[in-house]
Amino acid sequence: MSNSDFNHIGYKNRTSQIIERSLIELYGINGYKSIIQTLKKECKKSEKEITGNYELFAGAIQKIFGRIGDRKILDPITIEMSRIGIDEPNHTITRKQVPMADTATTRLLIADDEPHLLELYQDWLKFDNRQVITAENGQKCLEIYRKEYYHSKLNHYDNYFDVVILDHIMPELNGVQTAIEILKINPNQRIIFASGYIEKILSESLTKTNKLIEVIKKPFSIEALDDMINNKTIFNKFEEINSNHKEDITARYSNAITILNNYN
């Protein structure tokens, strides 16, 4: 084995150790496992292959987490690598400008039956002055929503949750069933469905709630969800269509598909 081979192996081992140590220090062992599990699904590679290849690791982090991943994962790791004299080999990933956070608190309620996804949502969406509450199924989500909504009314607050994010397929109550019950409590609640079947859930929710509800297509990056939460373009356009009671369901569905296609 040549000296270059030994050097390459040494680099991979040191890179892997730095990534593992940095992530555990930042997010604890459970947070580390959650991030690695997500990366393994994305890259279709082992933990050792991912953490030993900085370019692969950094590219996957940016794809999944976007600018939040830059700020909260890559920056601390690259600082540590630079501190001990390890350069990022051929690292050409472009860092994105991170906008200043709004000072107002945004409250999110997220329901999904995959625990590792809930951990990711909790870890990454809580930044920028957000409060994130999660539920492992639709029934639990509804219970949380009902409790917090009526508590806010008793104390003369505005609507407690700015956005409710619902996975399409969940046990006990699925996304549409949960949305129906939430809208009975608060018809003005903003909801975002997460689904791999945009046309199906759009049609189902429109038929059962008589209301267009935002949808983000799975799989999606945390950055894409973050952008949809912050950007109310689709929400405002859907609300405009919802206010036009003269349009039938077919016309509203067609307009909604056009809006979603243009947005994506």
Predicted confidence at residue 157, as pLDDT, reads 65
CB 18 within 8 Å of CB 77: yes
216 and 258 housed in the same domain: yes
Residues 251 and 134 grouped into a single domain = yes
CA proximity to 73, closest of 120, 8, 116, 117: 120
User: In this predicted model, what pLDDT tens digit does every residue of 83-120 receive, in sequence order?
Assistant: 766 654 444 444 444 343 344 578 999 999 988 888 88
Domain-embedded: residue 148: yes
Do 124 and 78 belong to one domain?
no
Q: How many domains does the chain have?
A: 2
- Residue 75: pLDDT band by 50, 70, 90 thresholds? confident
Q: Is 72's pLDDT higher than 60?
A: yes
Find the length of the chain: 264
Q: 127-157: per-residue pLDDT in tens? A: 777 889 999 999 999 999 998 888 777 666 6
111 lies in the same domain as 239: yes
Residue 256 lies in domain: 106-263
Tell me which residue has tokens 């009314």: 153
